[in-house]
Amino acid sequence: MTRGRFSTTPFFTLISAIDSAIWLFYPSRCLLCGEPAPDSLCPACSDSLVAPLAEPVCPICGHSRLTLPCTACASNPPRFVAARAAGPFGDDIQHLIHLLKYRDRPQLAVPLGKRLAQYARDTRQSLADLDFDFVAAVPMRKDRLRRRGYNQSDRLARVLAEELHLPYEPDALVRTRRVRPQMQLKREQRLVNLVGVFAVGTCDVTGKCILLVDDVSTTGATFRECAAVLREGGAKGVWCLALAAG
């Protein structure tokens, strides 16, 4: 054992030195403006990402709507206390989420997660003053997880939890079966497509206040179903937070 430990240490030291040298001579660049940026986004582009949603915004689902509360929340109240999104799904944020999800750029979860955490701090009054027992993420289908290699919502939630100094629970929710991708469906179909898809995982949610994270909230159907499952599993309250809404 000792021999193996000492024989591998120089190798990893060398790799670390090589990484440092690569950064020195070939620094990572911002994916939006091309300027040097250690986290794939320069500070200026990162600060410009979060734009307010168009008013009025429903105080329950957090989407831009014509009525307050919106018709959907008034007629069919969700089981979450409130949902919020850091900004609209468009332009730069849409491009970055696309890179994160479909172009194998998991490192983008770091700057995007940090921006999401800043938004959460700025709007803490609508998010239970950030007094949560833990942070959780919307789970991904196992086959899709195997193909992609990571769950972008999980990556965002981990960064968010670290930034907010909150525990992270990866097993709060699980997917129980496959369904058609939400992006392929109309609004009415999305609202019923996810019924029965999620279940409480191995984490004990009884009496817990939970902050649930996803990358994008389009109709709010995913947050609605996840919150319902968590509440039925004994959770005291669920608040939802997405990087973008659209």
Alpha helices (H) along 26-173 = 43-47, 71-75, 91-102, 109-122, 142-148, 152-164
Assess whether pLDDT exceeds 50 at residue 22. no
Asked if the bond preceding 170 is cis, omega within 30° of 0, the reply is no
Q: Is residue 82 part of a domain?
A: yes
Q: In terms of residue numbers, what domain contains 109?
A: 52-245
End-to-end CA, the chain: 54
Tell me, yes or no, whether 76 lies in a domain: yes
State how many domains the chain has: 1
Residue 163 covered by a domain? yes
Give the tens place of pLDDT for each residue, 159-171. 999 999 999 999 9
Q: Over 60: is that where the pLDDT of 107 sits? A: yes
Q: What is the mean pLDDT of residues 71-84?
A: 96
Q: What is the CATH number of the domain that holds 65?
A: 3.40.50.2020
Report the pLDDT value the prediction gives residue 17, as an integer from 0 to 100. 53
Residue 188 has pLDDT above 80, yes or no: no
Bridge partners (DSSP) listed for residue 245: 88, 217
Q: Let me know if residue 75 belongs to a domain.
A: yes
- Domain assignment present for 40: no
Average pLDDT, the chain: 86
Tokens 């369904």: give the residue: 179
In a domain, 170, yes or no: yes
pLDDT at 11 over 60: no
Instruction: Indicate whether 13 belongs to any domain.
Output: no
| Structure confidence at residue 182 (pLDDT) | 55
